[in-house]
Amino acid sequence: MPKQTVEALINGGQATAAPPLGPALGPLGVNIGEVIAEINKKTAEFKGMQVPVKVIVDSDTKSFEITIGTPPASALIKGEAKIDKGSGTPNTEKIADLKIEQIIKIAKMKEDALLGKSLKEKVKEIIGTCNSMGLMVEGVDATEALKMVDQGKFDEEIRTEKTDISAEEMKELEEERKKLEKEMKEKRAEFEAKSKKIISEMSGKPRSDIKAKLVEEKIPNQLIEELLPAEAAEEGKGDAKPEAAEKKE
């Protein structure tokens, strides 16, 4: 039986008969309304995200099969945490917090793409990704959350595959995110002021010495690279001219 495939990228839960799906499905003779309804049902959990969809149509019977791809785990985490990007310095700057139910939800969404054999192992994989993005889980560092999973702290939630959280919990997470964002901005401003003071005081010294001092003062490497190269380049240009003049003489 010959089959034809239509592939498209749609907004989760918001597929319509408009392009790209409608015009592609029309000539295949399937009930477009049924296809759209099925796609929206299967992608409802991905609301607000771009989701790859594949519709396989049997040319003889006009029956269809729908397979749904999933965004990367990092995209799902950002969606749940309501952030645009992960932390540039995940070891020192935490930008949001997630509940274990949200972690379970993401693990279930990505279960076919994860390596773990059990849901518990898949949950640990998602927490590991949270750690690399600078997110906390249940109000603690993601590394601590991994220990809690191993200790069985969330066994009941994982066993029952609990994925829902209350409106009150959502509100608490949003307040926590705003608090972390404010703290991160304040801390960055503090680090930036400290860095510029050190760079100014060590003006003329080798870049390696200045960087060593900044590292010693626990300035995040990302900020060091942002501030130090420009300063060093200007000093280097200033130092080079007298040396060149001496060589000419």
Residue range 117-122: mean pLDDT, rounded: 96
pLDDT tens for 167-207 read 999 899 999 888 988 888 888 899 889 999 998 899 888 98
Question: How many Cα atoms are found within 13 Å in the side-chain-facing hemisphere of 130?
Answer: 35
31 and 110 assigned to the same domain: no
Strand ranges for the chain from DSSP E: 3-11, 50-58, 64-68, 96-98, 135-137
User: Would residue 8 count as lying in a domain?
Assistant: yes
Say whether pLDDT at 226 is over 90.
no
Query: How many domains are contained in the chain?
Result: 3
pLDDT tens for 132-167 read 999 999 999 999 999 999 999 999 999 999 999 999
62 and 78 assigned to the same domain: no
Q: Which domain, by its residues, includes 216?
A: 183-248
196 and 240 assigned to the same domain: yes
How much of the chain exceeds pLDDT 70, in percent? Answer: 91
Question: What is the rounded CA–CA span in Å between residue 122 and residue 154?
Answer: 13
User: Would residue 29 count as lying in a domain?
Assistant: yes
133 and 111 assigned to the same domain: yes
Question: What is the pLDDT at residue 187?
Answer: 86
Q: Which of 40, 68, 96 is the last residue of a domain?
A: 68
Asked whether the whole model's pTM tops 0.85, one would answer no
User: Would residue 175 count as lying in a domain?
Assistant: no
Phi/psi of residue 66, each to 5°?
-120, 130
Question: What is the pLDDT at residue 229?
Answer: 66
131 and 144 assigned to the same domain: yes
DSSP 202-248: TTTS-HHHHHHHHHHTT--HHHHHHHHHHHHHHHHHHHHHHHHHHHH
83 and 54 assigned to the same domain: no
Question: What is the rounded CA–CA span in Å between residue 249 and residue 150?
Answer: 72
Question: What is the pLDDT at residue 218?
Answer: 84
CATH of the domain at 19: 3.30.1550.10
pLDDT tens for 62-80 read 999 999 888 889 989 998 9
Residue whose token pair is 């300035």: 219
87 and 148 assigned to the same domain: yes
CATH of the domain at 85: 1.10.10.250
Q: Which of 68, 86, 111 is the last residue of a domain?
A: 68
Q: Which of 51, 68, 85 is the last residue of a domain?
A: 68
